[in-house]
Amino acid sequence: MTERAPRRPRVLHFVTGGFSGGATQVAIQLVNAGRDGGRVEPLLALRRKRRTDPARIAELEAAGTPLRVVPGWSHAATILALVRLCRAFRPDVLVAHGFSEHLWGRYAGLLAGLPHLVHVEHNTRERYTRWRLAQTRWLARRTSRIVGCSEGVRRVLLDMGMPAERTVAIPNGIRLAPFEDAGAHPLAARTPGLVMVSRLSKQKDHPTLLRAVALLRARGLRPPVLLAGAGKARHRAPLERLASELGLDGQVRFLGLCRNVPELLMTHRVAVLATHYEGMPLALIEGMAAGCAVVGSAVPGVREVIDHEGDGLLVPEADPAALADALERLLRNDALAARLGAAAREKAVSEYGRERMNARYEALCLELAAGPPFAAT
């Protein structure tokens, strides 16, 4: 009689279906890695948003990503649908990504009687009211692990009162394959221009970048500036007006959502991330993997990635003059730009590949699934 193979541990990843943030992309990657690796049986649960693009859902399904979509028109509807999904799928571990999905996901996991819950925080600054912070602390006593997507995020979680013995950092990672040809694009041969890849939102500091570029014009430098990333009209329109007021028409291009980001980065000299806060800046890491000289705002999340003067430059947040100074150095000094770009690429390849991130999450889920159900503290 043939013995039946033991059931693989089941892992349910729950995240917003907005697709604009890094949390969704990380969750998708972890589910696909679990599907391909064969050690766990994964499933992706997306919370439907008003801006959820059906075409993106169809793309994932066509690519073989195991997924379900749950309603998002109210928190109660989300929780009830997720409870039903949990009872049908019976995951050993539920991984709830991002704010505020980590609340609704863990409530559903508790109602469904799941053995292990994992909360993943993807940013250093979220809209925690006093009530939501109280909920987060209550849920933390019933959560097996709390994960920050960078060391900076882990420290923020500890400051919020999360249990130190169960709060860990697992840095996010990127796909390195699209950047394999970076060495074929030496920095000196690239367009001496700037690329900033990020959505247009209050979190990102495009105004400071535009003002820095205007300062460069007064110094005789007019690098082309590519802003790659989608955003709502209420965020894009003021930026377009500011660029026009600063006399940057024709120099700054708003590209919207781009499918050729690796190509843009590997053919330009400098990757910039002007921002007010970050969890783990994947777009900046992609710039590093592309061999760009990188400049970032010195905020938590970015500070953990860039070694100032070692593999990139850090500048004070919301300081156009300081950002202009850093950009001028990289545009005028080929040797400096090439040294920093090479060091940045080496760090991205060695420390921030998705395979490393995937392995750490898989090890965490396997460890939890092999142990007894978590007992509330």
**Which parts of the chain register pLDDT below 50?**
1
**Confidence at residue 3, expressed as pLDDT on a 0 to 100 scale:** 54
Whether residue 100 has a cis bond before it, omega within 30° of 0: yes
| 224 in the same domain as 95 | no
**Span 259-315, pLDDT tens digits:** 899 999 999 999 999 999 999 899 999 999 999 999 999 998 899 999 999 999 999
**Closest to 182 in 3D by CA, of 352, 355, 341, 313:** 341
Residues 183 and 165 in one domain: no
Same domain membership, residue 48 and residue 74: yes
Is residue 2 situated within a structural domain?
no
* 377 within domain boundaries: no
The answer to whether residue 312 sits within a structural domain is yes
Q: Are residues 47 and 168 in the same domain?
A: yes
Domain shared by 153 and 285, yes or no? no
Rounded to an integer, what distance in angstroms lies between the CA atom of residue 228 and that of residue 254?
6
Of the candidates 58, 53, 56, 126, which has an alpha carbon nearest to the alpha carbon of residue 300? 126
82-104 in b/e burial notation, b at 16+ Cβ within 10 A?
A: bbebbeebebbbbbbbbbbbbbb
Instruction: Please check whether residue 246 lies inside any domain of the structure.
Output: yes
Q: Which domain holds residue 156?
A: 10-173+354-370
Determine, yes or no, domain membership for 46.
yes
Same domain for 297 and 361? no
What would the two tokens of residue 170 be?
Answer: 């697992």
φ, ψ (nearest 5 deg) of residue 255: -90, -15
DSSP secondary structure code for residue 73 in this structure:
S
Domain count across the chain? 2
Q: How many CA atoms lie within 13 A of 225 on its CB side?
A: 25
The answer to whether residues 155 and 256 belong to one domain is no
The answer to the question of residue 280 being in a domain is yes
**Together in a domain, 243 and 338:** yes
| Residue 315 covered by a domain | yes
DSSP 339: H
Residue 1 lies in a domain: no
The DSSP-derived string for 288-322 is HHTT-EEEEE-STTTTTT--BTTTBEEE-TT-HHH
What is the Cα–Cα distance from 23 to 280, expressed in whole angstroms? Answer: 10
* CATH code where residue 341 lies: 3.40.50.2000
**Hey, how many other C-beta atoms are within 10 angstroms of the C-beta on 250?**
9
Tens-digit pLDDT profile for residues 113-145: 999 999 999 999 888 999 999 999 999 999 999
User: Closest Cα partner for 198 from 179, 238, 226?
Assistant: 226
Angle at 28 between CA 141 and CA 132, to 5 degrees: 30
What integer best gives the mean pLDDT of the chain? 94
Task: Note whether 298 and 218 are same-domain residues.
Answer: yes
Residues 275 and 342 in one domain: yes
pLDDT, residue 1, reads 45
DSSP three-state, residue 20? coil
Task: Identify whether residues 130 and 212 lie together within a single domain.
Answer: no
Residue 165 shares a structural domain with residue 217: no
DSSP 3-state assignment of 268? strand
Q: What's the pLDDT at 235?
A: 92
